[in-house]
Amino acid sequence: MQLRFPQMPGMGNDVSLDQGQRNYQEFGAAERKNRGLTREPVEGEEREDGWRPLDPIRDNIEQPRRGVDYMNSYPESDTTVLYYWRSTYWRRLDS
Domain range for 95 is 1-95
Pairwise CA distance, residues 8 & 54, whole Å: 13
- For residues 71 and 5, is the Cβ–Cβ distance under 8 A? no
- For residues 54 and 17, is the Cβ–Cβ distance under 8 A? yes
Q: Which amino acid is at 26?
A: E
Total number of domains constituting the chain: 1
- For residues 90 and 75, is the Cβ–Cβ distance under 8 A? yes
Query: pLDDT per residue over 35-66, tens digit each?
Result: 999 988 899 999 999 999 999 889 998 888 88
Average pLDDT, the chain: 87
Q: Output the pTM of the full model.
A: 0.81
